[in-house]
Amino acid sequence: MARLKLKKLEEYLQCVDGFEQPKILLEQYPTPPHIAACMTHHMQAQHDDIEGKLLADLGCGCGMLSIAATLLGAQLSVGFELDDAAVDIYRQNMLDMELPNADCVRANVLQLPGSKWDNAFDTVVMNPPFGTKHNAGMDMRFLDVGMRLATGAVYSLHKTSTRTYIQKKSKEWGARSSVIAELRYNIEASYKFHKQKSKDIEVDFWRFDVSEL
Amino acid sequence: MKLSTYNFLTSMAIKGVKVGYPLKLTINKKDVIESEFNPVFIERLLPKLDWSAVYGAAQVAELAEDIPAAQPENIAEDEQLLQRLHHLLFEIDVLEGQLECPETGRIFPIADGIPNMLLNEDEV
């Protein structure tokens, strides 16, 4: 059960502030409210992976997924983010929405494994950089970190074109993986080099069960 | 920054640092934000925490009287202590302060509630 209806959740998420000046190299595309709402609602309603849980949001940006998880009853969401402008907006979003159960740490996600955060979280959620801007494989490196930080499940978004590769990697890691949904991820024209007004890319929403690792 | 988050932070990503824990916490400004008490969650969280760092945080937050210096047994049966832990770990919000690496003295500032654990390239 989820404590909020999907539609209501999406309505709340419409009020979340996004990036003021998105940075191309960090692939700062905000997670659209509709997608964030569908993802987190599914995580709670189908798998009970949010309410009362300790949750990490890797590369949290302005906090869309953290906020959605907190609205659905996460006991504490911890967002990790490199960018200073993004963490400030994260914090302001939490204050504006009066959500006490969220924290933000400015850190490099890739430096988290091997620290006390290993196996600290019940659930890890992320909308990772897809690795299209001179940082190939970045999403897989984020996923690897997620696997090490979570004891329950990892949820992530990846380009559909990488599905076979992710299945293979996930087998190597020993996680039980499944594609929950195929999304048409709509990236609004947030960068100047996007010629079209709006561009759809095909994205898979994954769940990785790491409870038996 | 919540003190539950503080309990997990280390400076071990710095080159040459062995443990980097616990970081020395200084609080210059804090807030108290009430949140829902969930005893089951705290019980589940406790094995992941380092009690000496919990107690250390309590001292800095001027709540040392509420928290025993050593972790008591059967903590799950002590509802009052669980509530105090909830207050310490989830309701204290550190707005301004710093974290200091116990081995190198490197300072990680906490500003506007956000600890900045980012390292320069020459530090990793």
A127 secondary structure, DSSP code? -
Beta bridge partners of B30: B94
Choose among A105, A108, A115: nearest Cβ to B5: A105
**Single-letter amino acid, residue A65:** L
Per-residue tokens: B119: 């390292």
Confidence at residue A15, expressed as pLDDT on a 0 to 100 scale: 85
- How would residue B76 be classed by pLDDT, with cut points 50, 70 and 90? confident
Domain count, chain A: 1
Q: Give mean pLDDT, residues A50-57.
A: 97
Across the interface, do B41 and A52 touch by the CB < 8 Å criterion?
A: yes
Q: Is the pLDDT of residue A198 over 80?
A: no
Residue A1 inside a domain? The answer is: no
Confidence at residue A11, expressed as pLDDT on a 0 to 100 scale: 93
Residue A41 inside a domain? The answer is: yes
Across the interface, do A101 and B90 touch by the CB < 8 Å criterion?
A: yes
Across the interface, do A76 and B124 touch by the CB < 8 Å criterion?
A: no
Element (H, E) at B109: strand B107-111
Across the interface, do A106 and B114 touch by the CB < 8 Å criterion?
A: yes
Across the interface, do A116 and B5 touch by the CB < 8 Å criterion?
A: no
Instruction: Using an 8 Å CB-CB cutoff, list chain A residues near B57.
Output: none
Q: Is the pLDDT of residue A83 over 70?
A: yes
Confidence at residue A156, expressed as pLDDT on a 0 to 100 scale: 97
Task: Beginning with the edge strand found earlier in the chain, give each strand of the sheet holding A176-188 in spatial order.
Answer: A102-106, A76-81, A54-58, A121-126, A150-159, A198-209, A176-188
ipTM over 0.90: yes
CATH of the domain at A55: 3.40.50.150
What's the pLDDT tens digit per position in B32-75?
Answer: 999 999 999 999 999 999 999 999 999 999 999 999 999 998 88
Q: Cα distance from B15 to chain A (closest Cα, Å)?
A: 12
Instruction: Using an 8 Å CB-CB cutoff, list chain A residues near B40.
Output: 52
Residue A194 inside a domain? The answer is: yes
Task: Beginning with the edge strand found earlier in the chain, give each strand of the sheet holding B24-32 in spatial order.
Answer: B24-32, B92-100, B107-111, B114-115
Across the interface, do A111 and B124 touch by the CB < 8 Å criterion?
A: yes
Instruction: Using an 8 Å CB-CB cutoff, list chain A residues near B4.
Output: 76, 103
d(CA B63, CA B108): 23
The phi, psi pair for A28, rounded to 5°, reads -85, 75
Q: Cα distance from B75 to chain A (closest Cα, Å)?
A: 19
Q: What percent of chain A has a predicted confidence (pLDDT) above 90?
A: 76
Confidence at residue A194, expressed as pLDDT on a 0 to 100 scale: 57
CA-angle at A140, arms to A41 and A132, nearest 5°: 95
On whether the CB atoms of residues B101 and B11 are closer than 8 A, the answer is yes
Q: Is A196 on the interface with B (CB under 8 A)?
A: no
Q: Is the pLDDT of residue A174 over 60?
A: yes
Smallest CA–CA distance from B117 into chain A, residue: A107
Q: DSSP letter string over B56-100? A: HHHHHTT-GGGS-SSPPSSGGG-HHHHHHHHIIIIIEEEEEEEEE
Q: Is A145 on the interface with B (CB under 8 A)?
A: no
Q: Cα distance from A104 to chain B (closest Cα, Å)?
A: 6
Residue A26 inside a domain? The answer is: yes
Q: Using the CB atoms, write b or e for A100-113: b if 16+ within 10 Å.
A: bbbbbbbbebebbe
Q: Is A97 on the interface with B (CB under 8 A)?
A: no
Confidence at residue A196, expressed as pLDDT on a 0 to 100 scale: 60
Confidence at residue A190, expressed as pLDDT on a 0 to 100 scale: 55
Domains of chain B, with CATH numbers? 3-123 (2.20.25.10)
Residue A23 inside a domain? The answer is: yes
Strand ranges (E), chain A: 54-58, 76-81, 102-106, 121-126, 150-159, 176-188, 198-209
**Single-letter amino acid, residue B30:** K
Range of the domain at A75: 6-209
Across the interface, do A115 and B10 touch by the CB < 8 Å criterion?
A: yes
